[in-house]
Structure 1
Amino acid sequence: MSRSAGHLIVDTLESAGIERVYAVPGESYLDVLDGLYDSSIDTVVCRQEGGAGFMALAESRLTGRPGVAMVTRGPGAANAMISIHTAWQDATAMVLFVGLVPLTDRSRESFQEFSLPEWFSSTAKRVITIDDEHRAGELTADALRIAAAGRPGPVVVGLPEDVLVRLTESPTPTLAEAAPPTPATAELESLIARIAAADRPAFVLGGDGWQSGCGAALAEFAASAGVPVYCDWRAYDAIPHSSPAWAGWLGYGRADAVAAGFAEADLLVFVGCTRSDVASDGYTIGFDAETVLVSLDPEAMQHAGRIDRHIAASPQSFTEALTRFDAAAARGGRTDERMRERAEVQSRFAAHRPDAEATGTAGAGVDLGVAFGILDERLGGEAILTYGAGNATIWGHRFIRHETPASLVGARNGAMGLAVPGAVAASLARPDRRAVAICGDGDFLMNGQEVATAFAHGAKPLIIVVDNGVYGTIVSHQENHYPGRPSGTRMVNPDFAAWMSAFDRSSSGAASASDPSSTDGGVASLTGHGERVETTEEFGPALDRALAADGPALIHVLIDPATMPPAANETA
């Protein structure tokens, strides 16, 4: 069968089980867009390339399949770079397709030309350019496989405009799924003996790969062995927080007492993550312990310090193998006392409480300690939370429980702007779950345009915008290093709640049903719901109305600029 290389790329993605691509259209890859016209793949038309990339990253983290984004050359690729850096440092599988100038125009500084490998080679697992139409399917399959193999990460694929329209009779390749290795019995017996011999062992779980719910089984094993379980930064949906082994998270905003417990461990078993900069408080704690690393990455990238044993396994294959053993064999002579102590520390830290007096802003704006306690009660540990970066996220991390896997998408590299597109993608990928974006005013306006994508495609995220009129994280650093000299951190914001009312899909000029490129697919009309909350008492009723809204909703929460997250040593 003869078809264009662009259509073969789409057929390969479809064969590999890709359900959505997140795209900002460009004339450089028109033939791929044409292939998507009658494909089963849903083309999610985004409003900026950074948002498209973040949506693909969120899709990957929630589903376990590589997320796919498509952008055009030059300026489009530049905008998408932030998502590639995030996927690289976060170790998340993603494939970015980038339209390129025709081969005949290459190296002539033609319109929007740039060097794909020189831009992306330092932050991608592989950079591929499809210069041969007959290999278009093969290289697309390679990109998906490489993105998911070993330490997951982004792969960038260049699509020269003229190659895409060339015809080929190459068949659609089959993407073979490689099963992760299962640890040998001897490896696990050795690990169990190490745990049994330790006085203060601890598991540290993180990274991607927990979508199956295997974290609950690992937490049950740990609890039976009397071992506390920590989670890495923004990976604390790996285990249910109701587990008696749950000891809290490491990284920004963690409790001082949680970090102290991690630092005191004499055996650390990292599963799916590493002893990184963030987890170790800037390479300062947790380095003296005997260390076992469970990872598919033979290079152990991002891991600092000793490794006494490296077990090649995924979180799921490791858990399935380990839990075949009797957890009692790993207990040794320990009681549950230390595990209970570690769990109680985190429980006190996460307990709902007012925090206005602790931040010195009593009576000014909304008390976020109360507000996020209410949000946690309403969500019940079942929602998908998405985060960008900034101080505003710390209340969510501290007070909102996670009881189900694949319920947290946050930029572990600290990138701003992920919360809104992440929540849109979460709502599309998991329409059966509530998707909630937690962001500050600065974070929201970095990719708030993707609210329009939600309306266009029927996504229904809830967005919480915490507005203090400043870049709060930077202000906190300035107060530490340059007290009384604020510089470059003030912002002026719109009324975000009023802004939502502009997105009434029934009258917003959405593309007609006769235009298939709109990808409407029969989506019903949606009306935006916005609430502006200026006092603590207003938050609960506003949240209830937002949760009841049949469409995208936003709560604009005003706080005093001086409000900072509650102290890390506050556990009672």
Structure 2
Amino acid sequence: MERHGGRILADQLAIQGVRRVFSVPGESFLAALDGLYDVGIPNIVCRHEGGAAMMAEAYGKMTGAPGVLFVTRGPGATNAASGLHVARQDSTPMVVFVGQIARSDRDREAFQELDYRRFFGPLVKWVAEIDQTERLAEYIARAFHVAVSGRPGPVVLALPEDMLSARADIPDLPPPARLPPEPGAAQVGAVAEALAQAKRPLVVVGGPHWSAQAATDLARFAGALDLPVAVSFRRQGHMDNRHPCYVGDLGVGMNPKLGARLAAADLVLALGTRLGDTATNGFTLLDPTRPGPRIVHVHADADELGRVWRPDPGIAQPAPAMVAALARLNGRPVPWGAWRAEARAEYEAWTTPRQTPGAVRMEAVIAWLSAHLPEDAIVTNGAGNYAAFLHRYFAFKRHGTQLAPSSGSMGYGFPAAISAALEHPGRAVICLAGDGCFQMTLNEMSTAVQHGARVVVIVANNGRYGTIRMHQERRYPGRVSGTDLANPDYPALARAYGGDGVVVTDQAEFPAAMAQALASTLPFVVELQLDPEALATGFTLSEARAMGEAGAG
């Protein structure tokens, strides 16, 4: 049956199992909007392409299936780039459809014209422009395959307006058949052999493909062999943090003692993580140019093996498949019991809250959340000084309860929370945001209200870009430039959008504020008025300034 290109596209999305798309509409893809209308795939209409892209990325993180985004040509595409960067660095599958000028107007700098192959090339796994309506199904099938294969990531398809509105009579294409990966006996034996020779092993877990079953398998494998397990930056939901083998996260503001253990290990079993600069403190704890521990590297993308580290061996498998096989190994006496126990004790000491100044204290806020939120509550965040408190003091208890950008993107937490609330409407969804972080995407409050996303946003308001100010005070003490903020009344702003909120000025008020927030059927903002002196490092601004003056920064 002859269909226009927008209907062919929408039918193909349905075949791929797409359950919702995120968009900011544009006249360049009206035919696609028409196709979505016929097929009935929900379209989450957003207020800015950056927020829409982050919602789609969060969907990919949660489900393992590509998040789908529609944006218009030119400004729409460039606005979306921030979310694609998150997807690339976080190995998250996405398929992005970008409107394009008519084919006959190419290379004339037509209205909003961009060469998407050149613009998106460094950001995505694959970018293409579809010239023939007859090839839409082919390109879309390939895009979904590329997005999830190997190391997952974003894919961009540009849709010339006239191609999309043209009609064609073509069959649909089903998704490719896939067999689940299964490590061979030699691969599992290589890991077991490396462990048999180790005295100070450290398992480092990260990357994509994880699931609740994978988290269970990891706990069983680590428990049977009494192995210490660290996670990479913002992957704390990969293992129950209460497990005695969990020893912390190798991220920004990591426990220095955990970093020292990474440097002192004689075997690093890297499962799914790329073991990049954040996990290694800028390649200082481990240096790819110098001798170090034996690294057994398991990663789904063979091209990642040997790209930075010399693995011994490198195993091209999704980490959860390998962990499932390792979980079947029998336990045995090991020589590193004390090594694991000491690492766990250091983690517990590190996560004992250290008091910061002020009537409202972030360490107490996070400790309360960790103790009182449901175990399946989803916690999201962007980037900022406030996030270090979350990483340090919150115990993630189940897989899929942490949504955060390893790329360090500000503004991510709120769109991610909206996406999470739409995907899991029965679960508590909490967004932690700084005042600078929240203001980058708070216009998506309109999206949350329109689509019924129940989210709680806890805004850490210290009146500044806190992380940048911290570094500024240490490097250029007393010379404040470009880091102060003027802030709105956040609860009043939420009410203006149709949500609700309260201000917390004393720690004793916080439990009641959270009870009101969690009971609300509306998007809800809890604004924490913080002492500007408080820093996530455990130092005050005055102490950081003094360190800078003493040359210790």
TM (normalized to structure 2)?
0.94
Looking at structure 2, the residues matched to 477 and 462 of structure 1 have their Cα atoms a distance apart, in angstroms, of 30
TM alignment of 1:161-240, pairs within 5 A: 161-240=161-240
Helix, strand or coil for the counterpart of 2:525?
strand
For residue 263 of structure 1, report the CA deviation from its aligned partner.
1.6
| Cα contact 1:211–1:405 (8 A) shared by 2 | yes
What residue identity is the alignment partner of 2:196? A
TM alignment of 1:312-331, pairs within 5 A: 312-328=316-332, 331=333
| Cα contact 1:213–1:238 (8 A) shared by 2 | no
Instruction: Check 1:301–1:444 CA distance in 2 against 1; reply closer, same or farther (3 A cut).
Output: farther
Q: Among 361, 385, 390, which residue is 1:391 paired with? A: 385
| Cα contact 1:213–1:404 (8 A) shared by 2 | no
TM (normalized to structure 1)?
0.91
| Cα contact 1:275–1:303 (8 A) shared by 2 | no
Structure 1 counterpart of 2:547? none
Looking at structure 2, the residues matched to 468 and 177 of structure 1 have their Cα atoms a distance apart, in angstroms, of 52
| Cα contact 2:300–2:319 (8 A) shared by 1 | no
For residue 365 of structure 1, report the CA deviation from its aligned partner.
4.0
Looking at structure 2, the residues matched to 19 and 284 of structure 1 have their Cα atoms a distance apart, in angstroms, of 44
| Cα contact 1:497–1:532 (8 A) shared by 2 | yes
Looking at structure 2, the residues matched to 213 and 562 of structure 1 have their Cα atoms a distance apart, in angstroms, of 43
Q: Among 365, 369, 380, which residue is 2:363 paired with? A: 369
Deviates more, 1:467-476 or 1:367-376: 367-376
For residue 327 of structure 1, report the CA deviation from its aligned partner.
3.4
For residue 354 of structure 1, report the CA deviation from its aligned partner.
5.2
TM alignment of 1:79-158, pairs within 5 A: 79-158=79-158
Structure 2 counterpart of 1:509? none
Helix, strand or coil for the counterpart of 1:531?
strand
| Cα contact 1:296–1:312 (8 A) shared by 2 | yes
Looking at structure 2, the residues matched to 180 and 232 of structure 1 have their Cα atoms a distance apart, in angstroms, of 25
Q: Among 456, 464, 467, which residue is 1:470 paired with? A: 464
Structure 2 counterpart of 1:305? 309
Which structure 1 residue ranges, 5 or more long, are not aligned?
505-527
Alignment of 1:413 with 2:413, yes or no, is no
Looking at structure 1, the residues matched to 368 and 181 of structure 2 have their Cα atoms a distance apart, in angstroms, of 43
Provide Cα deviations, 1:303-324, integer angstroms capped at 9, x if missing partner. Answer: 6333111111112211222222
Looking at structure 2, the residues matched to 139 and 303 of structure 1 have their Cα atoms a distance apart, in angstroms, of 29
For residue 253 of structure 1, report the CA deviation from its aligned partner.
2.0
Q: % of aligned pairs identical?
A: 37
Provide Cα deviations, 1:73-100, integer angstroms capped at 9, x if missing partner. Answer: 0000010010111111111111111000
Helix, strand or coil for the counterpart of 1:118?
helix
Alignment of 1:355 with 2:355, yes or no, is yes
Helix, strand or coil for the counterpart of 2:502?
strand
Looking at structure 1, the residues matched to 473 and 39 of structure 2 have their Cα atoms a distance apart, in angstroms, of 54
**Aligned length, in residue pairs:** 535
What residue identity is the alignment partner of 2:312? D
What residue identity is the alignment partner of 1:562? E
| Cα contact 1:275–1:302 (8 A) shared by 2 | no
For residue 419 of structure 1, report the CA deviation from its aligned partner.
0.5
Structure 2 counterpart of 1:256? 256
Provide Cα deviations, 1:332-359, integer angstroms capped at 9, x if missing partner. Answer: x4252221221121122223x3522xxx
Looking at structure 1, the residues matched to 366 and 427 of structure 2 have their Cα atoms a distance apart, in angstroms, of 19
What residue identity is the alignment partner of 2:382? G
Deviates more, 1:217-226 or 1:150-159: 217-226
Which structure 2 residue ranges, 5 or more long, are not aligned?
540-553
Q: Among 479, 488, 493, which residue is 1:494 paired with? A: 488
For residue 301 of structure 1, report the CA deviation from its aligned partner.
7.3
Q: Among 500, 522, 531, which residue is 2:502 paired with? A: 531
Helix, strand or coil for the counterpart of 1:327?
coil
Structure 2 counterpart of 1:401? 395
| Cα contact 1:62–1:211 (8 A) shared by 2 | no
What residue identity is the alignment partner of 2:404? G
| Cα contact 1:382–1:402 (8 A) shared by 2 | no
Provide Cα deviations, 1:502-545, integer angstroms capped at 9, x if missing partner. Answer: 122xxxxxxxxxxxxxxxxxxxxxxx220111111211211111
When the two chains are superposed, the root-mean-square deviation of aligned CA atoms in Å is 1.5
Q: Among 291, 295, 315, which residue is 2:295 paired with? A: 291
Deviates more, 1:101-110 or 1:179-188: 179-188
Structure 2 counterpart of 1:34? 34
Looking at structure 2, the residues matched to 449 and 378 of structure 1 have their Cα atoms a distance apart, in angstroms, of 29
For residue 181 of structure 1, report the CA deviation from its aligned partner.
3.1
| Cα contact 1:381–1:400 (8 A) shared by 2 | no
| Cα contact 1:265–1:286 (8 A) shared by 2 | no
For residue 440 of structure 1, report the CA deviation from its aligned partner.
0.3
| Cα contact 1:180–1:313 (8 A) shared by 2 | no
